[in-house]
Each structure stands twice: as C-alpha cells, then as structure tokens.
Amino acid sequence: MNYNSICCYDYETGSANPHTCSIVQIAAEMIHSRQLRVVDKFSSYVRPDWDSEGITEDTLKFHAKNKGITVQAFKDKLNEFPPIEVVWPQFTAWVDKANYAKGHKNTFCAPISAGYNIIGFDNITTSRHCYEFGPTEKDKFRGENRPRLFSGVYSIDLLHHLWFWFENQKEPKNLKLTTMLEHMGVPEDTIAQAHEAAFDVEWCTKILTRLMKTQRWMTAWREEAQKRRLEFEDCFVGEFK
C-alpha cells in the first residue's frame, strides 16, 4: 500500500527542449495518498535569464498568445518575479514538507511525481535543476549523486495512463490534455485557460484522482461477496493445468 504523497506538477518553460529550457512558471498540488485530496498548493512565475539558450521567441509568442497579451507584456510580467535561483529552493522546500522521512530526506520517502508528459519533459527538467541547485543524494550503488526531490522509483505520467484507458477507442482523436478535457465534458471557455501551469495542474489532479478512485473501487474487497470486482491474485492459475 502506498503512503507516499503524490505531487502533481507542471512547468511552463521558455523553450521546448527539456535539456536546456528555462523555467518561467512552476505550479504543483500535493495529494494525500490515502484520501486522494489536495492538501497543499504551490505556484510561482520565474524571471528567466533572457540571454540564455533556454528562451526562444517562438515559445514566448506561444505563451503571450495563450494569455491574450503581447510578448513584451508577458516579459514585463515575468520580470516582476524572482529568478530561478530564488524560486527553485522555495519549490523544493515546499515539496520536502511532504517527504515523510524522519531524518535526512530521501527519495524512498519523497512524494511521487505526477503530471502530463512529465516523463518526456518535466522530470528531465527537474533532474537538471536538481543537479544544478539541489537537492541530490548519494546513490549507494553507483557512488554518485542523483536527484532527490521526488520518488526515485515511481512517477505517474497521465499521458501514458490515458493511453492505457483509451488505446482501443476511436475517440478522443488524440491524447492532448485539451482534447481529453473536451472529451470529459469540460466547457470550452474553461479549456481556453490551458497551457497555464496552475490550470494544467488543477485538471491533471482531477483526472488523476478520478482514475485512482476508479481503480480503488474496482480492486476494493467486497465483504458481502467475499471477493473483489477485479482480482489479480491467482489469475493465471488455470492456465498452467
């Protein structure tokens, strides 16, 4: 049984390359693992280094268009906030509040990361920033440092989970978050707020907890029937006779 908190998080970045991008916004919600409810939230914009390779004009135009403002107005907004050297320690300290290790914080007790396409993007960005700013821990097998912010074993990528549920259906037409929200009945004017980190995190959390509640309902022990609706124990026994 899992007792690690689940951290649903998202970055908005200055480019589409997770290996070089600058973070311009961080948002996250901490989910209680047993109650499946949000117990804490984090959100902050970040002032990037405008001369870094992690900022591209096309990506800035994308963000500005989504917000209905000019690129210069978007830049002015970001300039009101601290740089990543300030925001990153604030974010990691917030995550560490949910790391239940009694002594030194470690990946075994760390929150499980969750989000949309985080394996292909956000987790890579997280690791890069952990190596640069911390936190890291010593890998006892390899003898080298590794990122320590989130669980080193589990990560929940909703893009992969939704593929599992919908791979045999003709609809929705694709697995983009906005397409999935439309398919799930979210109003169009609400979906228009997508690609803003706090919004994306809120709806990823809603989808994730709905899926997990469904899984728990399917696998819960039913006393009256003395069985589960979906049982994996001994499910292959008859195939070996």
Which pair of structure tokens corresponds to residue 44?
């902050």
Which pair of structure tokens corresponds to residue 71?
């690129």
Which pair of structure tokens corresponds to residue 165?
């549920």
What is the arithmetic mean of pLDDT over 102-129? 97
Hey, which residues does 228 pair with through a beta bridge?
221
- Residue 110's pLDDT band, with cuts at 50, 70 and 90, is very high
Say whether pLDDT at 241 is over 80: no
What is the arithmetic mean of pLDDT over 55-67? 96
Q: What share of the chain is helix, strand, coil (3-state, %, to 5)?
A: 40, 20, 40
Strand order in the sheet with 155-157: 38-45, 23-31, 6-13, 112-115, 155-157
Classify burial at 143, counting beta carbons within 10 Å of its beta carbon; exposed 0-12, middle 13-18, buried 19 or more. exposed
- Model-level pTM? 0.95
pLDDT the model gives residue 240: 78
Angle subtended at Cα 150 by Cα 100 and Cα 131, rounded to the nearest 5 degrees: 125
Residues 41-52: tens digit of each pLDDT:
999 999 999 999
Decide if 48 contacts 81 (C-beta within 8 A): no
Q: How far from 92 is each of 114, 126, 154, CA to CA, in Å?
A: 15, 10, 18
- Residue 141's pLDDT band, with cuts at 50, 70 and 90, is confident
Residues 212-231: tens digit of each pLDDT:
999 999 999 999 999 999 99
